[in-house]
Amino acid sequence: MVDRIDYDEFGLFHQNAEEYGLPFDAPPVVRRVGVEVAPGRNLSALVWGGGEPELVLLHGGAQNAHTWDTVALAVDRPLVAIDLPGHGHSDGPGPGPEGMLSLDANARDVAVVIAHLAPAARAVVGMSLGGLTTIALTEAAPELVRRVVLVDVLPGLKGERSKHITDFINGPQSFSSLDELLELTAQFNPTRSLSSLRRGILHNAEQQEDGTWVWRWARHRPQAAPRDSIPTEAADTFYDGLWESASAIAVPLLLVRGMRTDSVLGDEDEEELHRHVPTARVVHVEGAGHSVQGDSPLELAAIIEEFVFES
């Protein structure tokens, strides 16, 4: 008999609050909404709060909208966190060989969701694949982007720096148990609490009828691999053309850079940013690696608050 694991995606927020010492008088107002971006294709999003959304949050490759839960609790503003194509509860990418590797296609899909759910958002915050999608979004729908926050990503990402990420993503496609999945995840995230990693797995994987587990994004592997699983030798140049797009960004731009060794950026990347966007601001987060929202969510929330609402 298969041991089924109960999962309520809206029933874990108290754990985020408890782990980071955030007040939790009552569960937050969060609902899941689907938006049709093309006939028969929908993107899914988490809508936080009851007011007009003030932020849009885009996760990284092989993640999902719940990666922002602690940040959203700390910011405590109406916002929308979107599952990118092929991730979380969203449908896979559109037809064609590029699939999820097409940032332009991602941006067009995301633009439909933002126009529907958060047309007046003060900023778009994108981490990794979400950050590259945000850069593409500034060309696809500039009227929807009033400020840009890039979380530990820039164009021209060097493949050797992201090898630890590709190694994790290109690992087993299925797991015999939640414990096996947790053990592997802990090996790649030694600084995170087991409770935090377990929450992340429950949000980012699903149990099959036979009791095994698969990543939600892995369901779409036959169509295309996530951005972060581009082979190392290809990743060095695949997105270099995005620098031209970044150079044309006319709104305030902030880079939040994790400073641990598992960040994917180096000092030379920061220098490149300033060559292309001299007005860009940069904030270093010493205790964070690539996934700043998971490593230092309260610090990231404070950085977003200051850049978007106070500066």
DSSP 239-266: TTTHHHHHHT--S-EEEEEE-STT-S--
pLDDT value of residue 140:
96
Is 241 among the domain residues?
yes
Our answer to whether residue 290 is catalytic in this structure is yes
Is 70 among the domain residues?
yes
pLDDT tens, 132-184?
999 999 999 999 999 999 999 999 866 677 787 888 888 888 999 999 999 99
Tell me the residue range of the domain where 292 lies: 23-162+220-310
- C-beta neighbour count of 259 within 10 angstroms: 14
Is 197 among the domain residues?
no
Kindly report the CATH number assigned to the domain that includes residue 149: 3.40.50.1820
The angle that helices 129-140 and 103-117 make with each other, rounded to 10 degrees, is 70
- C-beta neighbour count of 143 within 10 angstroms: 9
Q: Are 144 and 77 in contact (CB under 8 A)?
A: no
Is 244 among the domain residues?
yes
pLDDT value of residue 2:
75
**Which residues face 225 on adjacent strands?**
none
Catalytic residue among 69, 83, 91, 152: 152
Which residue from 50, 13, 47 is spatially nearest to 33, judged by alpha carbons? 47
pLDDT value of residue 74:
98
pLDDT value of residue 64:
98
pLDDT value of residue 101:
61
The list of the chain residues with pLDDT below 50 reads 97, 223-238
- Spell out a b/e string for 3-21, using b for 16 or more CB atoms within 10 Å of the CB, else e: eeeeeebeebbebbbeebe
pLDDT value of residue 225:
42
Is 2 among the domain residues?
no
Tokens (6 digits) for 99: 């699939």
pLDDT value of residue 234:
39
Is 174 among the domain residues?
no
Our answer to whether residue 152 is catalytic in this structure is yes
Helical ranges in 30-170 per DSSP H: 69-75, 103-117, 129-140, 163-169
Our answer to whether residue 128 is catalytic in this structure is yes
Catalytic residue among 290, 291, 295, 296: 290
pLDDT value of residue 239:
60
Is 7 among the domain residues?
no
The one-letter code for the residue type at 230 is: I
- For the chain, what is the domain count? 1
pTM for the predicted model, two decimal places: 0.93
pLDDT value of residue 224:
39
Is 15 among the domain residues?
no
Catalytic residue among 90, 102, 128, 291: 128
